[in-house]
Amino acid sequence: MVSLYAPPTIQKDVATEPMPSHPPEASNRNFLFSLATSLLFLTISAAVLIAGFITWHHPNVLDKQPPSPITIAGKDLRIDIGKGKYQGDSLVLTALEDTHSVLSAPRITFEASNYPIIKYEIEGRHPGIKVAFYWRTTIHNQKTQFAELHWNGDIPTAYRLEAKDSWSDTVTEFGISITGDIRNQPITIKYIALSPPSVGNLLLTVWSEWNAFSSWSHSSINAVRGSVKNPIISSVVAGAIWAGLAVLLYILWIVFRTLQIRIQRKQRIPIKNKFALVIASIFLISWLALDMKWQVHLWRQLEETIRLFSGKSLMQKHLAADDRVLFKFATQVKKKLPDTPQRIIIVSSLNRYFRLRLLYHLLPHNVYAFPLAPTELLAKLKTNDYVLILGTYKQINFDNNQGHLQYNSSNSIPATLIFEALPGSVYKIGTSK
């Protein structure tokens, strides 16, 4: 029978067995030896993997003489849209025009396939702006192609253009496009370099893909990729292979040493003492390496968050957030409404995110934000309800002369315009003016 309760007993393995002396595997000396062993095998594993990776990815990288990179210094870029100045070899962009800037490179034509990678060094970037490399080719002459460049901090970074299907044929025109909010912080473009495949470029590309930073998005809560979409190799897989190979090499070394000792008939070295420590150290060091990358990501994210929100009141923080337009609109609407909660129905053809987010900011007003057919809406509205038309909503319009919200000539309801501003308008249902 199962006993739900057992009287407290001293566990035998705790109190009646003699206190063991320190087991040899746990001494300080053995720990240091195990740590050194694990670092050694991790280093060997890394060397083997990097060599193998380079050989596999670019088997001919050491064979033929690659073309020289096409390097465009910042001072050679022309500011087509935006404001800036030249400082030494760099271009310093100081302002965008209507959230946009275009910097074009001198006209050079080349075969895209010879330059699968673009390297660049851009300082002063932050997640508020997007930097893209654009180009045109002889085939896509009418349509400009774009590749959003990773942000990896103010250090040289690489991007794999060859991953883009449209990076092919003869390139006739290229440059840099910058969009977003510069936040009064100048951006310095030191250079862009279209680069041929090489060992250094490949490794820099892998490093850039692993450390590319993007700020929180609404999908962040669902998954953490750990690198860009479709990287050359995932950092997690690389970490697992690195640790796994190190463990395998260590085991092979142990087997080899054991056989050697047995053959030589020497006294057996107890290998179990350090085995678990070494394996655990290899695993933990690999985990720590991955975790350091994640910690750096969190620190960068925190920098961005501090930049956006630090030192501000709650209202100011909402006005700095990415839904500030909706928040500001909701605040204005609430000033026009009575203090007590009112029934409000939001109608919109926009993505439901906008309706729902506006509902959140209108609380504690009593808001309905579900999809509703126009006829049902007009039929269910009650006097003193409010209708908020967000964005454009062609099915219902307001007849200012009649003072009616109407779907068609036979479906209308008296209403008064209460408030109108981007991005919507608010009507009170009831007696028309």
Please provide the size of the chain in residues. Answer: 433
Instruction: For residue 257, give the nearest of 277, 274, 281 by alpha carbon.
Output: 274
Q: Is there binding between residue 336 and other proteins (CB under 8 A)?
A: no
Measured distance CA(121)–CA(151) in Å, rounded: 10
Q: Is there binding between residue 31 and other proteins (CB under 8 A)?
A: yes
Interactions with other proteins, residue window 338-357 (CB under 8 A): 340-343, 353, 356-357
Closest to other proteins by CB, 68 vs 340, is: 340
> For the packed helices 199-211 and 28-57, what is the interaxial angle rounded to 10 degrees?
120
Contact residue for other proteins among 168, 179, 198, 366 (CB under 8 A): 366
Closest to other proteins by CB, 256 vs 353, is: 353
- The 8 Å CB, 24+ separation contacts for 46-53 are 46/242, 48/245, 49/238, 49/241, 49/242, 49/245, 50/203, 53/233
The Cα-based distances of 260 to 60, 265, 279 in angstroms read: 40, 8, 22
Residue 207 CB, nearest approach to other proteins (Å):
15
Q: 269-279: string of b/e by CB count within 10 Å (b at 16+)?
A: eeeebbbebbb
Q: Is there binding between residue 33 and other proteins (CB under 8 A)?
A: no
- Alpha-helix residue ranges (DSSP H) falling in 192-349: 199-211, 235-264, 272-309, 314-320, 324-336
Residue 19 CB, nearest approach to other proteins (Å):
4
Residue 295's φ and ψ, nearest 5 degrees, are: -65, -40
Closest to other proteins by CB, 10 vs 263, is: 10
Instruction: For residue 169, give the nearest of 133, 145, 201 by alpha carbon.
Output: 145
Residue 373 CB, nearest approach to other proteins (Å):
12
The Cα-based distances of 396 to 56, 291, 343, 388, 412 in angstroms read: 62, 54, 19, 11, 9
CB 214, CB 149: distance < 8 Å: no
Residue 321 CB, nearest approach to other proteins (Å):
6
Q: Is there binding between residue 59 and other proteins (CB under 8 A)?
A: no
Contact residue for other proteins among 284, 351, 400, 421 (CB under 8 A): 284
Interactions with other proteins, residue window 125-184 (CB under 8 A): none
Instruction: For residue 271, give the nearest of 285, 286, 253, 284 by alpha carbon.
Output: 253
Closest to other proteins by CB, 161 vs 330, is: 330
Measured distance CA(203)–CA(233) in Å, rounded: 11
Q: Is there binding between residue 263 and other proteins (CB under 8 A)?
A: no
CB 246, CB 42: distance < 8 Å: yes
Closest to other proteins by CB, 172 vs 215, is: 215
Considering CB under 8 A, how many residues would be counted as binding other proteins? 77
3-state secondary structure of 147: strand
Q: Is there binding between residue 5 and other proteins (CB under 8 A)?
A: yes
Residue 123 CB, nearest approach to other proteins (Å):
24
Residue 232's φ and ψ, nearest 5 degrees, are: -60, -45
Interactions with other proteins, residue window 295-334 (CB under 8 A): 295, 298-299, 301-302, 305-306, 308-310, 314, 317-318, 321
Q: Is there binding between residue 370 and other proteins (CB under 8 A)?
A: yes
Closest to other proteins by CB, 239 vs 403, is: 239
Q: Is there binding between residue 19 and other proteins (CB under 8 A)?
A: yes
Binding mask of the shown chain, residues 191 to 230, with x at each position contacting other proteins by CB under 8 A:
-------------------------x-x-xxxxxxxx---
Residue 134 CB, nearest approach to other proteins (Å):
30
Task: Give, as one character, the DSSP assignment of residue 66.
Answer: P
Q: Is there binding between residue 94 and other proteins (CB under 8 A)?
A: no
Residue 79 CB, nearest approach to other proteins (Å):
35
Residue 97 CB, nearest approach to other proteins (Å):
30
Interactions with other proteins, residue window 379-418 (CB under 8 A): 380, 382
Q: Is there binding between residue 294 and other proteins (CB under 8 A)?
A: yes
Closest to other proteins by CB, 117 vs 359, is: 359
Closest to other proteins by CB, 144 vs 301, is: 301
Q: Is there binding between residue 256 and other proteins (CB under 8 A)?
A: no
Q: Are strands 386-390 and 424-429 parallel, antiparallel or unpaired?
A: antiparallel
Residue 245 CB, nearest approach to other proteins (Å):
13
Interactions with other proteins, residue window 223-252 (CB under 8 A): 223-227, 234-237, 239-240, 243-244
The Cα-based distances of 76 to 72, 92, 160, 191, 242 in angstroms read: 6, 12, 23, 9, 42
